[in-house]
């Protein structure tokens, strides 16, 4: 079987598939040429990350397609239900990137607590003494309350990190029940499990949080989860991170909340209009921006590639 890994695949994943008899092509095909390439080259499997979309028109125009794979968690760039109605298999890798996204979020929480993004921008050309004064009101994470909205694998991984550094964690998810969070093994102590109550009332959670991290998929109706209504409930000076999906936070309302002081700082990895985010977000002094790199670690990409390979081999078997 021929596989087009259009947004790339780790060498480990590629080798695993090739050892099982699959032909794996990693040459990038532009979106406008995808249908032609799939049909011309007789690709039966297309693997994507976030750059390539596989919509109804691609599915209809490529009758030889058997499987669509997403290297990552969210599948909003694939018409999943339609594909499955047409008999295609659709897979993703929800377990592989949880740790990487959680670490990016935690790193951003440290960064926006100490003005690091703005400081990095200005150190080369700014006045040292005035900047020292400007950035002198940082805050510590230990003892602060982190609200995690969406408590699946990534939210739970973030909770394990936050608990380990002494934060108080409150979790919200309408589907996930109360659970235990297992911290990474601590030298000389072993593993520690922390019971976690998972809340259901967003309005009750928001006023208690010093930090908020969003871990929800893009909503089916396209509406933002955090808008001016939710910002109005938050503690003044809250810090927010979104490494989930663009559109989960209303960007215009976020800018207003930042300028009013309700939000002290934000870190954003995902945007409404990727790959061309709005300039007001990119240029704001109190927003730390990254270009959708939540899962972009070497370790996560290795895990994603191997997970995709294992799922494909399980589905179709070996050809050698």
Q: Look up the CATH number of the domain holding residue 168.
A: 3.40.50.720
The verdict on whether 292 is a catalytic residue reads yes
Please count the structural domains in the chain.
2
| Better pLDDT: 126 or 167 | 167
Task: Please give the mean pLDDT across all residues of the chain.
Answer: 95
Q: Are residues 268 and 304 in the same domain?
A: no
Q: Are residues 228 and 270 in the same domain?
A: yes
Q: H or E segment at 70? A: strand 67-70
Question: Which pTM does this prediction carry?
Answer: 0.89
**DSSP string covering 188-253, please?**
TTB--EEEE-EE--HHHHGGG-SEEEE--PPPTT---SB-HHHHTTSPTTEEEEE-S-TTSB-HHH
3-state secondary structure of 133: helix
Q: Are residues 113 and 254 in the same domain?
A: yes
Q: Are residues 6 and 148 in the same domain?
A: no
User: How far apart are the C-alpha atoms of 139 and 162, rounded to whole Å?
Assistant: 15
Q: Are residues 262 and 177 in the same domain?
A: yes
Contact between 306 and 13 under an 8 Å Cβ cutoff? The reply is: yes
Contact between 265 and 112 under an 8 Å Cβ cutoff? The reply is: yes
- Tens of pLDDT, residues 55-88: 999 999 999 999 999 998 888 899 999 999 999 9
The residue annotated as part of the active site, out of 245, 284, 303, 307, is 245
The residue annotated as part of the active site, out of 36, 85, 185, 274, is 274
- Tens of pLDDT, residues 91-130: 999 889 999 999 999 999 999 999 999 999 888 888 999 9
The verdict on whether 274 is a catalytic residue reads yes
Q: Are residues 63 and 149 in the same domain?
A: no
The residue range of the domain holding 112 is 98-289
Q: Are residues 103 and 48 in the same domain?
A: no
Contact between 54 and 78 under an 8 Å Cβ cutoff? The reply is: yes
Q: Confidence class of residue 26 from pLDDT cuts 50, 70 and 90?
A: very high
- Tens of pLDDT, residues 209-241: 999 999 998 887 889 999 999 999 999 999 999
User: How far apart are the C-alpha atoms of 40 and 298, rounded to whole Å?
Assistant: 32
Is it the case that residue 34 has pLDDT exceeding 90? yes
Q: Which residues contact 99 (CB under 8 A, 6 or more apart)?
A: 157, 299, 300
Q: What's the order of all strands across the beta sheet hosting 23-25?
A: 23-25, 2-5, 45-48, 67-70, 89-92
Q: Are residues 143 and 251 in the same domain?
A: yes
**DSSP string covering 168-189, please?**
EEEEE-SSPPSEEEEPPPBTTT
pLDDT of residue 186: 80
DSSP secondary structure code for residue 2 in this structure: E
Closest C-alpha among 21, 62, 70 to residue 305: 70
Q: How do strand 2-5 and strand 45-48 relate by DSSP bridges?
A: parallel
What is the percentage of the chain residues whose pLDDT exceeds 70?
100
Q: Are residues 138 and 265 in the same domain?
A: yes
The residue annotated as part of the active site, out of 49, 284, 292, 303, is 292
Contact between 292 and 50 under an 8 Å Cβ cutoff? The reply is: yes
Is it the case that residue 320 has pLDDT exceeding 80? no
pLDDT of residue 33: 97
Q: Are residues 35 and 76 in the same domain?
A: yes
User: How far apart are the C-alpha atoms of 310 and 304, rounded to whole Å?
Assistant: 10
Q: Are residues 305 and 284 in the same domain?
A: no
Q: Are residues 133 and 235 in the same domain?
A: yes
* Rounded (5°) CA angle 68-74-77: 55
């Amino acid at each position: 079987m021929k596989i087009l890994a259009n947004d790339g695949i780790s060498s480990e994943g590629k080798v695993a598939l090739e050892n099982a008899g699959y032909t794996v092509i990693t040459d990038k095909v532009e979106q406008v040429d995808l249908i032609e390439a799939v049909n011309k080259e007789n690709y039966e499997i297309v693997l994507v990350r976030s750059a390539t979309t596989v919509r109804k028109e691609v599915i209809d125009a490529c009758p030889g397609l058997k499987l669509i794979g997403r290297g990552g968690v969210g599948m909003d760039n694939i018409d999943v239900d339609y594909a499955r109605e047409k008999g295609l298999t659709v897979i993703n890798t929800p377990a592989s990137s949880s740790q990487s996204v959680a670490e990016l979020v935690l790193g951003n929480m440290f960064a926006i607590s100490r003005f690091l993004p703005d400081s990095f921008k200005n150190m080369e050309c700014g006045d040292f003494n005035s900047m020292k004064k400007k950035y002198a009101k940082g805050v510590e994470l230990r003892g602060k309350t982190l609200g995690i909205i969406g408590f699946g694998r990534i939210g739970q991984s973030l909770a394990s990190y936050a608990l380990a550094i002494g934060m108080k964690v409150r979790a919200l998810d309408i589907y996930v029940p109360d659970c235990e969070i297992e911290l990474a093994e601590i030298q000389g102590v072993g593993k520690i499990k922390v019971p976690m109550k998972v809340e259901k009332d967003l309005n009750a959670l928001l006023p208690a949080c010093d930090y908020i991290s969003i871990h929800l998929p893009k909503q089916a109706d396209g509406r933002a989860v955090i808008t001016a209504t939710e910002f109005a409930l938050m503690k003044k000076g809250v810090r927010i991170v979104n490494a989930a999906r663009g559109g989960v936070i209303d960007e215009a309302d976020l800018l207003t909340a930042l300028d009013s002081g309700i939000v002290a700082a934000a870190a954003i990895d995902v945007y409404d209009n990727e790959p061309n985010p709005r300039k007001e977000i990119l240029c704001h002094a109190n927003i730390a921006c990254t270009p959708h790199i939540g899962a972009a670690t070497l370790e996560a990409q290795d895990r994603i590639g191997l997970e995709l390979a294992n799922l494909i081999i399980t589905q179709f078997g070996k050809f050698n």
